[in-house]
């Protein structure tokens, strides 16, 4: 096979190509580092521009955490990190919001239910305290205190982002008693969200699977499941067209290195 040629223009593209976003799950860090971002912000706008509550299931390493981080940046800082992206000409809101981001992969119940409850409490305190929530150790239970605080917030003032909601559950699938105890504990948190719906401007929850009989979907019965929605089927991951558009300089480099034509490489 003849070696694929690289002309002067292609060589310039290779030299000026953005960095690959390997392992970067923080949107602001990705943009500051000038790494490749496959622009999904038109769909981000479609979701974020209206008041809503959403759930999205995708396999691991599909970019769920980066998506959560993208919503976080948009609601906290407006268009600060979105220059040159599709949403820049669409987003008209000047208001920013109080954003609570929870990563439930941090609180797997490996040491039993009581430790899990303590870990969940600490996670909630650390996430809500920067917004003015003050936990009283000798007062009511954490869920009661959090509910009281949410009732004091202005309508549509909070954005809640939950990444890997199912991590505590999938980590104890082989221990049914523990699984049920974790599910019951989490249900109390989701019940708070339902009873304080007025404060919530936007809710987005991700996971790798949907547990139909867990409380998230019974407590938050107005949660829209986007997992199989064709309109948002490409919200995560790359399409063939996006690979060619955003990674073209790397494709050229691969053709040169592997001595292949581009069509053959893509196949």
* pLDDT attached to residue 209: 86
Q: Are strands 224-225 and 52-57 parallel, antiparallel or unpaired?
A: parallel
Look at the alpha carbons of 13, 14, 17, 23 in this order and tell me if their dihedral is positive or negative: positive
* pLDDT attached to residue 18: 87
Reduced to 3 states (helix: H, G, I; strand: E, B; else coil), residue 85 is coil
Reduced to 3 states (helix: H, G, I; strand: E, B; else coil), residue 184 is helix
pLDDT, tens digit (0-9, with 9 covering 90-100), for 212-264: 655 566 667 778 999 999 999 999 999 999 999 999 999 999 999 999 999 99
Residue 6 has pLDDT above 90, yes or no: no
pLDDT, tens digit (0-9, with 9 covering 90-100), for 170-200: 999 999 999 999 999 998 999 999 999 999 9
Percent pLDDT > 70 in the chain is 91
Tell me if 249 sits within 8 A of 14, measured CB to CB. Answer: yes
Distance, C-alpha 31 to centroid of its chain: 16
Q: Residue 207 burial by CB count (10 A; 0-12/13-18/19+): exposed, middle or buried?
A: buried
If pLDDT is split at 50, 70 and 90, which confidence band does 2 have? very low
* Helix, strand and coil percent figures for the chain, each rounded to 5: 50, 10, 40
When mean pLDDT is compared across 25-29, 131-135, 188-192, 231-235, the lowest value belongs to 188-192
Q: Which domains does the chain have, with CATH numbers?
A: 39-237 (3.30.370.10)
Q: Can you tell me the mean pLDDT for 152-179?
A: 95
Query: Which of 236, 233, 206 lies closest to 63 in space, CA to CA?
Result: 236
Of 5 and 219, the structure prediction assigns the larger pLDDT to 219
* pLDDT attached to residue 3: 45
* pLDDT attached to residue 89: 97
C-alpha to C-alpha distance for 8 and 11, rounded to whole angstroms: 5
With both helix axes pointing from N to C terminus, report the angle between 8-16 and 248-258 in degrees, rounded to the nearest 10.
Answer: 120
Mean pLDDT across the chain: 91
What is the chain's alpha carbon radius of gyration, rounded to the nearest angstrom?
22
pLDDT, tens digit (0-9, with 9 covering 90-100), for 117-129: 999 999 999 999 9
pLDDT, tens digit (0-9, with 9 covering 90-100), for 88-109: 999 999 999 999 999 999 999 9
Question: How many angstroms separate the first and last alpha carbons of the chain?
Answer: 16
Q: Can you tell me the mean pLDDT for 75-94?
A: 97
């Amino acid at each position: 096979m003849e070696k694929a040629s690289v002309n002067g223009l292609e060589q310039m593209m290779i030299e000026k190509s953005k960095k690959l976003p390997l392992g970067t799950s923080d949107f602001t860090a990705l943009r500051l580092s000038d790494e490749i971002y496959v622009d999904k912000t038109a769909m981000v706008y479609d979701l974020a521009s209206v008041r809503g509550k959403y759930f999205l299931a995708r396999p691991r390493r599909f970019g769920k955490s980066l998506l959560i981080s993208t919503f976080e940046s948009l609601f906290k800082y407006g268009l600060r990190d979105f220059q040159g992206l599709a949403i820049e000409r669409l987003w008209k809101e000047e208001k920013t919001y109080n954003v609570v981001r929870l990563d439930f992969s941090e609180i797997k119940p490996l040491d039993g239910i009581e430790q899990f409850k303590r870990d969940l409490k600490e996670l909630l305190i650390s996430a809500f305290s920067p917004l003015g929530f003050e936990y009283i150790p000798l007062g009511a239970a954490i869920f009661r205190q959090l509910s009281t605080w949410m009732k004091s917030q202005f309508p549509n003032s909070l954005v809640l982002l939950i990444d890997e909601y199912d991590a505590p559950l999938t980590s104890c699938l082989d221990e049914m008693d523990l699984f049920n105890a974790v599910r019951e504990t989490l249900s109390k948190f989701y019940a708070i969200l339902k009873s304080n719906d007025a404060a919530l401007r936007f809710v987005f929850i991700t996971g790798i699977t949907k547990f139909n009989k867990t409380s998230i979907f019974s407590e938050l019965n107005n949660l829209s499941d986007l997992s199989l929605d064709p309109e948002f089927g490409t919200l995560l991951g790359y399409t063939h067209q996006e690979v060619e558009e955003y990674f073209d300089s790397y494709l050229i480099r691969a053709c040169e290195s592997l001595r292949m034509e581009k069509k053959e490489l893509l196949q």
